[in-house]
Structure 1
Amino acid sequence: MTVRPDPTFHASPQLAMEAPPEKLAFTLMLSPDFSQPDGVAVVNVDRRSAHCGKVVNTLLMPNRGDEFHHFGWNACSSALSPLNGHPFLERRYLIIPGIRSSRIYVVDVKDAPKMKIHRIVEPEEIFAKTGYSRPHTVHCGPEGIYVSTLGGGGKDGTEGPPGIFIMDCESFEVIGRYEMDRGPQDKHYDFWWNLPRDYMVSSEWGLPPQFENGIVPADLLSNKYGHRLHFWDLRGRRNVQTIDLGENQQMALEIRPAHDPVKQYGFCGVVVDTTNLEGAIWTWWREKDGTFNARKTATIPPEAADPADLPELLKGFSAVPPLVTDIDLSLDDKHLYVACWGTGELRQYDVSDPMAPKHSGSVRIGGIVQKGRHPNGKAFQGGPQMLEISRDGKRVYWTNSLYSTWDDQFYPEGVEAAMVMAHVGDNGGIALDKDFHVAFPEGYRSHQIRLEGGDCSTDSFCYPSAR
């Protein structure tokens, strides 16, 4: 508890953009064969430091087999909400779920060189209080910590649908399920909201048997993965509308609403269209009468390839799908970044007009066939994956692992942990930094990134930007 609001909390996206640049990044490390405990690495990203691009500290967990994936802060700019905020919280703790173990670690990073585990929430508490399993996305709301899950009850996570539960933002106890009326929602992945407008949007991946042991080709080809967006009355905790993007739009994943709460639109990335292997960006928006619409606004084609160069899963297609596995939106709502994990391309789109994204920049690194190297000559296995954008919009960071079993299917030669960064031009365009290439401890893979002081996939803002 502080006597004044945390200085990393900002009323509007514009004020956050004007804040000091990040000096540290927190990056999740996972052991794909469960031979080592998962952990979190502190990476120096201070461009004035001689240690920039180096891991300066790691914290390993006391258990094995957690499979770290996504994580988030205990508190962020949403704490400044004029309705029910907790403005005197600190952005101090990282909430790190184990997607396989259903265990959650609360890590105190106030002193990053001496970060420590503050609390462990065991899976039994989550099961008993929510009936959910496989915790995934973490968002700090004004009155608590929201955690989405990918599994329901039972050993295989299919006894009842997954959903969202809420944790106390000070004690970190699990309070209970979010949903009062879920409507047709029966799968889950990501979620985010517009706090002043009082609505939430959620998306779908699949149930645990569809992802834990790798992608299930029969389920993909028969369009059994998620392909819907769900819209919620945030305070009423009820589903008000569901939009089906089309059953061929398989795996509707990341939800990225406009940061400025005046704007009532956002984006969702779709991994693959089963009719043509395209990846896609969908724009969703809210009408004046409160109803929602969604439209495909950008597509990314597959790239032809020799079957001999493809993993077993793709040989019959003679092509590499882009596999849109992550998207991220800059705080000024101008640039949308799209990770094409299959082809090894990071795309930048100018989304000043959200209904007509313009492809404005691209870099290549990794990829199933291209196997593009870093500018420093080092190999980069996997492809662009978890993205994070600096608050000022001038730097984009990313890692290369998707999910352990999926990595093994699409990149059977292995996915050694890596993290890179690209610079953003004043008028758009991106270019890889020639020196920034983070090496992690041997045997690990790297996933999501959080930036010290907040970033573009963390904070929710309650006040409009003044300009």
Structure 2
Amino acid sequence: MSLRPDPTFHASPELAMRAPPEEHAYTLLLSPDGAQPDALAVIDVKPGSPQYGKVVHTVPMTHKGDELHHFGWNACSSALSPLTGHAMLERRYLIIPGMRSSRLYIVDTKPHPTQATLHKVIEPDEVFRKTGYSRPHTIHCGPEGVYVSCLGGGGPDGTEGEPGIFIMDCQTFDVLGRWEIDRGPQDKHYDFWWNLPRDYMVSSEWALPPQFENGLVPEELLGNRYGHRLHFWDLRGRRNVQTIDLGAQHQMALEVRPAHDPIREYGFVGVVVDTTNLEGSIWTWWREDGQFFAEKTVTIAPEPADKDLLPPLLQGFGAVPPLVTDIDLSLDDRFLYVSCWGTGEMRQYDVSDPHSPLLVGSVHLGGIVRRTPHPNGKAFAGGPQMVEISRDGKRVYWTNSLYSTWDDQFYPHGVPAAQVMANAADDGGLSLQEDFWVEFPDGYRAHQIRLEGGDCSTDSFCYPSIRT
């Protein structure tokens, strides 16, 4: 244990932006057919390094069929909380959830990323026995320990009881129990995040396991039975204080991205598809006089397409929906990045005014119909999906796989693992880095990325940035 706070913990977003740039990235690899265990890849991202853009280490998991998903650190800048933090922790361990197996892996990244090893395995029966939850999805390090959101309740199909969040000890990794005291109307789950000093959490909804594990269920989608609500919580009280319905046609409210500066009481959520017109959308939510509000601030239109170029799932529509599957917000709260997995586009919005986002950058890569190649000439299957931003906001990384069964429906020709990086201009604009193309082992797909020392979807901050 360190006698001083970890140097990668930063009191404010502004201080985190000044930190040294990342030299390694961690990327989850999944084996869609279960032929081999899923794995964690360590990638050299230091410009000028002889191994730049290459996998320099791999940590395989112990079982097959886990479907690794949104992983995170045991501790981050939230440890500096003056109320319930653990300031002497290290950002050392990565907690990796197996969404299909309900198994969790703990990877030790010390003494060096290229020497990362498997530290502990938490078996599904411990999760079930202590929480009644299943299908762990997202990890956040927070003031009480490690928070784990789950998409399933109990029983074989995960529908016996509502899904929710459980807490793990951030040092022993023991599963402690459910987080919620009063969940209110919440009956589906997906992402969650918070404003620590303001003491509230926001969570979103995707689906129950029968609605996603074997692929998108068209009847459920067209019946508007996927998630379409935001839930707001008293963080320390662990109770639901307000729920906002975005409208049943706004199917699958996924990633929530609160402003990083805790003085700003707003954030964003991406909605995959509007069932009335196939649009994707971004919503801005905010708090005013103790109440939460939300409004649609960005719409992204579908692209007409020849039926013969579409997968069977979309042929009846004659168009490609953008499919907004991930969003990420730069640490200065200025730029929001939006993954349009269906149309093959990464969009960059200036959200200096969070109620009036402006499109200032765009890169096309992959896509169901476009199939835009990388500038290096290599084919990019799938589309921009999980996106991660460097702390200084200059580099934007992304991969191309969503979820194995959904990949197969929308991209039936396959989604071989790929990871790329774009450079972000100071005042907006994106351009792909031509010499950054990660070659992964055959048979894998690539999902979420974490950056050494923290990134824009990892840390939550306790103190505001200096304003000029």
TM-score (norm 2): 0.99
1:296 Cα deviation (Å)? Answer: 0.2
Partner of 1:169: 170
Partner of 2:187: 186
The code of the aligned residue for 1:457 comes to S
* Separation in 1, partners of 2:79, 2:48: 31
* Separation in 2, partners of 1:346, 1:339: 5
Partner of 2:120: 119
Identity of aligned residues (%): 74
Query: Size of the alignment, in residue pairs?
Result: 466
Q: CA RMSD in A?
A: 0.5
Unaligned runs of 5+ in 2: none
1:51-200 map, 5 Å: 51-110=51-110, 111-200=112-201
* Separation in 2, partners of 1:92, 1:359: 37
Partner of 2:251: 250
* Separation in 2, partners of 1:291, 1:164: 23
1:339 Cα deviation (Å)? Answer: 0.1
1:238 Cα deviation (Å)? Answer: 0.3
1:25-424 map, 5 Å: 25-110=25-110, 111-288=112-289, 290-424=290-424
Query: SS at 2:315's partner residue?
Result: helix
1:25 Cα deviation (Å)? Answer: 0.1
1:250 Cα deviation (Å)? Answer: 0.1
Deviation beyond 4 Å, 4+ runs, structure 1: none
What CA deviation, in whole Å up to 9, does each residue of 1:102-141 have, x standing for no partner?
0000000112122111111111110000000000000000
* Separation in 2, partners of 1:401, 1:54: 19
Q: Is the 8 A contact 1:79 1:143 kept in 2?
A: no
1:361 Cα deviation (Å)? Answer: 0.5
Q: Is the 8 A contact 1:134 1:150 kept in 2?
A: yes
* Separation in 2, partners of 1:209, 1:158: 8
1:16 Cα deviation (Å)? Answer: 0.2
After superposing the two structures, state which structure 1 stretch, 85-94 or 106-115, moved more: 106-115
TM-score (norm 1): 0.99
Q: Is the 8 A contact 2:144 2:167 kept in 1?
A: no
* Separation in 2, partners of 1:447, 1:88: 31
Query: SS at 2:380's partner residue?
Result: coil
Q: Is the 8 A contact 1:335 1:350 kept in 2?
A: yes
* Separation in 2, partners of 1:143, 1:126: 18
1:427 Cα deviation (Å)? Answer: 1.1
Q: Is the 8 A contact 1:367 1:381 kept in 2?
A: yes
1:48 Cα deviation (Å)? Answer: 2.3
Query: SS at 1:465's partner residue?
Result: coil
Q: Is the 8 A contact 1:256 1:266 kept in 2?
A: yes
* Separation in 2, partners of 1:421, 1:114: 24
Q: Is the 8 A contact 1:350 1:358 kept in 2?
A: yes
The code of the aligned residue for 1:182 comes to R
What CA deviation, in whole Å up to 9, does each residue of 1:197-228 have, x standing for no partner?
00000000000000000000000001000000
Partner of 2:10: 10
Are residues 1:447 and 2:447 paired? Answer: yes
1:143 Cα deviation (Å)? Answer: 2.5
The code of the aligned residue for 1:4 comes to R
* Separation in 2, partners of 1:440, 1:314: 30
* Separation in 2, partners of 1:24, 1:113: 9
